Structure 1
Amino acid sequence: MRMTTDGIVIATTNIDECDRLVTLLSAEIGVVRAYARGAKRPGSKLSGSTELLGYSRFVLFKHKDRFTIDSADSNALFFGVRQDLTKLSLASYLCELCADTAPAGEPAKEQQRLLLNCLHLLETGKRSAEFIKPLYELRQISLSGYMPDLVACRECGQYERPLFHFYPVSGELVCAGCDTAPKAGQYVELSPSVLAAMRHILYASPEKLYSFTLSQQALLQLTAVCERYVKTQLSRSFKTLDFYNAMLPN
């Protein structure tokens, strides 16, 4: 059976001197692994399209449970990301997080759109890496079934308070007035601006998702809370995340 799909390469594994196993994110079938035979040979038509971040129209052949790439016509290769080590390290983390959380064998249109938009903004410099990272983390993990409840305080139901405590384990908010005996280390304090940004990331339409601003201090807090939420919910870290963080200035 043959099928055509627009997919972005989110992981690659070298099989031998010539072949490559590629993990794609397809809008129609989500995460799919496919063999790219001869992709590493000089002059191969599959070479660039099957590298990390390659976004192409793939023709896939399926035999039993195995996919093979017949051909690929490149849509975008994101050279502006590949040529900048900080951008590339962040993009590698976004792809690893995507591979870990996006669905396999079912549609992933919103996940693909999110990743492509973030890579485009990263490549063009319209949004910084520091802005894109927490936005992608929170939106992607929410699309994948780990959406926190940021509507109101769990206890009193208030939408606005001067200070909220966010609990990464449960994904819930408790206002400081209700949380009379909080346990240190189990929650994160959220200022109104950071909570507003998190709500925007969760609930905004795709067209308006990137249209918010934060002070540098608030952006640092947003970065910390989103990263912690991802690690807590998935019970793991990522080597690509560790590498990206090591690239940042102290």
Structure 2
Amino acid sequence: MRETANLTGMVLKATPSGEYDRRLVILTRERGKITAFARGAKRPGNQLMAVSRPFVFGQFRLFEGREAYSLQGAEISNYFTELSQDVESACYGSYFLEFADYYSRENMDAGELLLLLYQSLRALLKPSLPNSLVQLVFELRAMTISGEYTEHPPCQVSDSAAYAWEYIIFSPLESLYTFVLTPEVQKELKFCVDRNKKRFIDRSFHSLEILEMM
């Protein structure tokens, strides 16, 4: 008999399923990316309505079915409602969710990627950090976690840009968002990160296309 599992994670996607349900994609620390259905989540007043939205982070109580999980309830630590109050930050956040969805798999240890995603969304809420820099840090470290990177920048750059590249790759996740760069150095870093993406990533991201048009 299958039992209820308590998994720590974040909702990456929430799409309608039938008249009243939602289909969720959740990045979990313990089991990687999973699919779960929130039954009745679209009904007014349903207890699952608030917890079955993108960006929601916490501990999810799930029943494991044959092909998917069924969401029973959740204890939420952060809804990231502040992101929805700023269009640009919301687009960056949506892009991070897409990026994490691309790199996550079922039955993988996703603790590091989940923590990176959480810290990156928090960084978007810091006025002192440019969102464009947060994006570069998130992209490079996510590729690093997946093993798709080089220890040194893929092209000739200044010492400052080279140091930033190596700092992003090797520093503890809790210390990632503790620096800013001059526009010139950030431009160098972006060139290198974009080159790395072109080498390893074979798809486009809808949220990034929206960002580039803004």
Q: TM-score, normalization: structure 1?
A: 0.80
The 2-side partners of 1:206 and 1:121 are apart by 12
The aligned length equals 212
Deviation at 1:118, TM superposition (A): 0.9
CA deviations over 1:54-111 (Å, ceiling 9, x no partner): 1122101002232110112221111111111100101111100100102321221111
The 1-side partners of 2:115 and 2:176 are apart by 12
Q: For residue 6 of structure 2, what is the amino acid of its counterpart?
A: T
Q: For residue 28 of structure 2, what is the amino acid of its counterpart?
A: S
Q: Match for residue 231 of structure 1? A: 198
Distance change (3 Å), C-alpha of 1:227 and 1:42: farther
Q: Match for residue 184 of structure 2? A: 217
1:203 aligns with 2:205: no
Check conservation: 1:10, 1:95, Cα contact below 8 A. yes
Distance change (3 Å), C-alpha of 1:37 and 1:121: same
The 1-side partners of 2:4 and 2:129 are apart by 38
Q: Match for residue 25 of structure 1? A: 27
**Structure 1 range deviating more: 199-208 or 129-138:** 199-208
Query: Once superposed, which parts of structure 1, at least 4 consecutive aligned residues long, lie more than 6 Å away?
Result: none
User: Whose radius of gyration is greater, 1 or 2?
Assistant: 1
The 1-side partners of 2:18 and 2:187 are apart by 42
For residues 79-94 of structure 1, what are the structure 2 equivalents within 5 Å?
79-94=81-96
Q: Match for residue 208 of structure 2? A: 241
Unaligned ranges ≥5, structure 1: 151-163, 167-187
Deviation at 1:208, TM superposition (A): 2.4
Q: Match for residue 147 of structure 2? A: 145
Q: Match for residue 194 of structure 1? A: 161
For residues 121-160 of structure 1, what are the structure 2 equivalents within 5 Å?
121-150=123-152
The 2-side partners of 1:224 and 1:92 are apart by 22
Alignment equivalent of 1:5, drawn from 4, 7, 21: 7
Deviation at 1:16, TM superposition (A): 2.4
Q: For residue 128 of structure 1, what is the amino acid of its counterpart?
A: P
Unaligned ranges ≥5, structure 2: none
Aligned alpha-carbon RMSD (Å): 1.6
Check conservation: 1:80, 1:124, Cα contact below 8 A. no
Is the partner of 2:51 in helix, strand or coil?
Answer: helix
Check conservation: 2:62, 2:69, Cα contact below 8 A. yes
The 2-side partners of 1:89 and 1:207 are apart by 23
Q: Match for residue 183 of structure 1? A: none
Check conservation: 1:20, 1:38, Cα contact below 8 A. yes
Deviation at 1:219, TM superposition (A): 1.3
Q: TM-score, normalization: structure 2?
A: 0.92
Is the partner of 2:146 in helix, strand or coil?
Answer: helix
CA deviations over 1:163-195 (Å, ceiling 9, x no partner): x7x2xxxxxxxxxxxxxxxxxxxxx44222111
Q: For residue 233 of structure 1, what is the amino acid of its counterpart?
A: F
Percent of matched pairs sharing the same residue: 27
| Greater length-normalized contact order (CA 8 Å, ≥ 6 residues apart) | 2
Deviation at 1:244, TM superposition (A): 1.3
Check conservation: 1:7, 1:58, Cα contact below 8 A. yes
Deviation at 1:15, TM superposition (A): 1.4
Q: Match for residue 117 of structure 2? A: 115
